Structures are given as C-alpha cells and as structure tokens.
C-alpha cells in the first residue's frame, strides 16, 4: 500500500487518484529520478509519483500535435491547464479550444490501449496527465510508453515498451 507523509493511500483507480490529486491542490513532489523528457513537440516532467500512480506535466509547443497513439499498460486522465488544446480520445473529438478558460478541466479516463491524439494552437498547451500504471511496469513517462507513430526521431529514440 503506498504511503504519503505517514498516511496510507488506497487509490483503487485512476479516477480515485485524480480526485485525490485535485482535492489536495495538485501537490508537486517530483521523484527526481526522471529527467525532463524532450520530444519534437513537448517537454514533460513527473511532478508527483506514489507507487503505480503519478502526475506528469506536459508543456506542448505552439502549433504542433501528436499522431494517434496509445500507452499500453497505462490508464490516464488528461487535465487541461491552458493554451489552445484540442484532444481526441475514446472516439470523442473534444475540439480545439482557443484561449478557453481551461482551468482544471478534464476528459474521461483513457483506458489501457485506447488511442488518442493531441493538437495545439498558437498558444501551445499545458496539461497534466494523471496516470495509473499496471503492476509489474515501472512508471516512467507516457512519452516513453508509447504505441503508434511517434512525434519525430527525437521521440522515437525515447520510446521503450519493454
């Protein structure tokens, strides 16, 4: 059972974790064993990790996007923070929201293996990926645990599904 500051954490799902993370005002407690992950379209960093659960911050460059992809063995909830972000997930196109007040808005969970894609407009995009990783898989970054076309050669060099 994961522990946090002496308290037992008993999240049972990614929804559970996302709810806890939001109620607790999005705590920042980086594990500091991960680098800043850099691809052709984004920079990301693990802000919080406890057991198989973690929160990753993504800052996406303006006027870029990702191809359709999935993250085998990971369930995640995307919480949008700002910028111009369009998201397609679970067969639903959430559309591009130019300069929208996105504070804390989140999509439905993206289940293990579901494909999704991201598009960013002129202000780029900032979002959190709140994640639950399957037991037996060491949490790193969903940038690494990626199935599908990549965002470019730099990204391809990071992908590892072992």
Partner 1 sequence: MWKTTEEFAKWYTDNGLPFQPPIGVEVFLSDDATAFCMYRNEQFQVELYLVHPQPNVPTHEHPGVEVIEVAVTHTAVNLIPVLKSGQSHGTGIKEKANTAGYPLISIQRWHPKLTPTTVAAQWKGKTAGPIHEELIRRFYPDAYIIPGYADVTRKKDELDKC
Query: Which residues here bind partner 1, judged by CB under 8 A?
Result: 24-32, 34-36, 38, 43-45, 47, 57, 59-62, 81-83, 99, 101, 103-104, 120, 122-126
CB nearer partner 1, residue 73 or residue 83: 83
Whole-number Å distance between alpha carbons of 89 and 95: 10
CB nearer partner 1, residue 95 or residue 104: 104
The structure tokens listed for 121 are: 């407009």
- Least distance (Å) between residue 40 CB and partner 1: 12
Indicate the Cα dihedral angle 19, 104, 113, 43, nearest 10°.
-120
Whole-number Å distance between alpha carbons of 162 and 159: 9
CB nearer partner 1, residue 57 or residue 74: 57
- Least distance (Å) between residue 113 CB and partner 1: 28
- Least distance (Å) between residue 130 CB and partner 1: 13
Structural contact between residues 121 and 98, judged by C-beta atoms closer than 8 angstroms: yes
Q: Which element (helix H / strand E) includes 154?
A: helix 153-156
């Amino acid at each position: 059972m994961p522990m946090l500051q002496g308290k037992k954490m008993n999240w049972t799902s990614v929804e559970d974790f996302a709810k806890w993370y939001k109620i607790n005002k999005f705590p920042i407690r980086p594990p500091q064993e991960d680098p800043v992950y850099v691809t052709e379209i984004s920079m990301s960093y693990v802000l919080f990790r406890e057991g198989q659960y973690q929160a990753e911050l993504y800052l996406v460059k303006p006027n870029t996007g990702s191809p359709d992809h999935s993250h085998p063995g990971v369930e995640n909830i995307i919480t949008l923070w700002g910028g111009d972000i369009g998201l397609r997930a679970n067969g639903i196109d959430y559309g591009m929201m130019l300069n929208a007040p996105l504070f804390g808005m989140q999509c439905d969970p993206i289940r293990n293996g579901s494909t999704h894609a991201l598009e960013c407009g002129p202000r780029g995009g900032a979002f959190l990926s709140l994640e639950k990783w399957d037991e037996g898989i060491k949490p790193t970054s969903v940038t690494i645990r990626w199935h599908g076309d990549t965002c470019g050669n730099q990204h391809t060099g990071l992908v590892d599904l072992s």
